[in-house]
């Protein structure tokens, strides 16, 4: 893979985003850009008010010489709009350059939103911009996290579900006089962690999301790994059980069919239809109401059949993460999903991980971090994605 040659300005901005507050000397040392070029570029950025001087600090090692002057990003120099949509909700936000959410709104997804998703996005972006008129001229662009893959010409969405046939990216681009970036929602979340949480995220990590579907985004040397085509990251379609359940992809035994919310809900509905779960029957009026929250509640209330389904899901998830750890060996693995928010389920999952990771090392679980599940995470990540594409790499 041939890396794209980046300008000195971009490299300096990248370093500041990840390491501020920082001195000019440290930037020069760590990026191998000449001190003169760093000084000139920093002067330009200060003049543009993108970064600010924080003042002098003593040398940490008490060595003699000039004090170092620290600089930092001016977080409110610019802002970005982030959007994520999936079969559960549509979320919108505006963040500043450091990921602080200035404005947000989240809507549960109904048939109306799904069948009018393009118009719904346009309408709510307009509302968001009207409510934040004072920063409208500081917007660098719009990022959209999508539940699937956008083809190379950014005109069509490929997803496991066919419900998004009414999503037309070109209409959104034509409506707003701003750059628009569209990417897989989990890739956006990974970029959100990398750009907005530098103290948590190393240069190499995996971001594993379990929701209606599942996806694993990998950041390698600070760059989102894209692969040769849209297959990269589709961890839900790795086989965990030979001759297992039939998956919509045409294969048998995919991880999706055991651990995704879509399939857990599908199995729960079958239980209700067959009166096989007393607890679920009491939690919902009919099987169309079943959600992952109901399934988690049934698990905690002792439903034996649901417990078997959850434990099976956790075993296959643990197996997959163990394999991921061996094949890629990321510095850290981030886990994101409603299932992992439950303490009892996560405790059981930890036991499986510790068992499956013996080969890697007893302490490997410390490299696995649960990201708090929030419906706004994908939108915040989409904001990071557009900041990276049109502000840092302009």
Write the DSSP string, 295-359. HHHHHHTT-HHHHHHHHHHHHHHHHHHHHHHHHT--SEEEEESGGGGSHHHHHHHHHHHHHHTTT
Where along the chain do its domains lie? Answer: 8-73, 79-199+376-392, 205-370
**Can you point out the beta strands (E) in the chain?**
22-23, 51-57, 68-73, 79-85, 89-96, 101-108, 139-146, 149-150, 157-158, 180-184, 205-210, 214-220, 223-224, 332-336, 368-370
Bridge pairing between strands 101-108 and 79-85: unpaired
- CA separation for the pair 229, 297 (Å, rounded): 39
Helices (H), 32-102: 35-47
Question: What tokens appear for 166 in the block?
Answer: 């009414």
DSSP, res 390: I
Strands 79-85 and 68-73: unpaired
CATH architecture of the domain covering 79-199+376-392: 2-Layer Sandwich (3.30)
pLDDT tens sequence for the chain (394 residues): 345 578 999 999 999 999 999 999 999 999 999 999 999 999 999 999 999 999 887 655 555 556 789 999 999 999 999 999 998 999 999 999 999 999 999 999 887 778 899 999 999 999 999 999 999 999 999 999 999 887 766 667 877 666 788 888 889 999 998 999 999 999 999 999 999 999 999 999 999 999 999 999 999 999 999 887 778 899 999 999 999 999 988 999 999 999 999 999 999 999 999 988 889 989 998 888 999 999 999 999 999 999 999 999 999 999 999 999 989 989 999 999 999 999 999 999 999 998 887 766 656 667 899 999 999 999 999 999 999 999 999 7
Q: Of 120, 116, 80, 119, nearest to 98 (Cα)?
A: 80
What CATH number was assigned to the domain covering residues 205-370?
A: 3.30.420.40
Domains 79-199+376-392 and 205-370 share a fold: yes
Fold of 8-73: Arc Repressor Mutant, subunit A (1.10.10)
Q: What is the pTM of this model?
A: 0.92
Helix, strand, or coil (residue 66): coil
């Amino acid at each position: 893979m041939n890396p794209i040659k980046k300008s000195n300005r971009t490299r300096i901005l990248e370093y500041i985003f990840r390491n501020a507050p920082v001195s000019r000397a440290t930037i020069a040392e760590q990026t191998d850009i000449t001190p003169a070029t760093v000084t000139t570029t920093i002067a330009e950025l200060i003049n543009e008010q993108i970064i600010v001087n924080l003042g002098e600090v003593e040398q940490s090692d008490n060595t003699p010489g000039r004090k170092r002057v620290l600089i930092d990003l001016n977080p409110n120099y610019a802002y970005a709009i982030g959007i994520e949509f999936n079969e559960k909700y549509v979320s919108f936000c505006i963040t500043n350059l450091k990921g602080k959410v200035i404005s947000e709104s989240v809507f549960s997804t109904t048939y109306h939103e799904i069948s009018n998703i393009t118009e719904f996005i346009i309408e709510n972006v307009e509302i968001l911009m009207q409510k934040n008129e004072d920063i409208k001229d500081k917007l660098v662009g719009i990022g959209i996290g999508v539940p699937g893959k956008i083809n190379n010409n950014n005109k069509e969405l490929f997803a496991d579900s066919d419900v998004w046939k009414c999503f037309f990216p070109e209409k959104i681009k034509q409506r707003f006089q701003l750059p628009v970036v569209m990417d897989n929602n989990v890739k956006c979340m990974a970029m959100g962690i990398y750009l907005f949480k530098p103290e948590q995220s190393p240069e190499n990590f995996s971001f594993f999301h379990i929701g209606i579907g599942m996806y694993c985004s990998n950041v390698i040397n600070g760059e989102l790994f894209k692969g040769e085509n849209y297959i990269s990251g589709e961890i839900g379609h790795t086989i965990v059980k030979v001759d297992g359940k039939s998956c919509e992809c045409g294969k048998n035994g995919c991880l999706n069919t055991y651990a995704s919310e879509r399939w857990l809900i599908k199995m729960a509905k079958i239980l209700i239809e067959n009166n096989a779960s007393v607890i679920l029957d009491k939690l919902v009026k009919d099987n169309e109401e079943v959600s992952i929250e109901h399934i988690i509640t049934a698990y905690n209330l002792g439903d034996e059949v649901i417990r078997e389904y959850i434990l099976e899901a956790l075993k296959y998830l643990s197996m997959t993460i163990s394999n991921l750890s061996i094949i890629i060996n990321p510095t850290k693995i981030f886990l994101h999903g409603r299932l992992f928010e439950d303490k009892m389920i996560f405790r059981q999952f930890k036991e499986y991980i510790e068992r499956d990771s013996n080969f890697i090392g007893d302490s490997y679980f410390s490299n696995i971090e649960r990201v708090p599940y929030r419906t706004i995470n994908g939108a915040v990540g989409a904001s990071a994605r557009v900041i990276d594409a049109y502000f840092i790499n302009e």
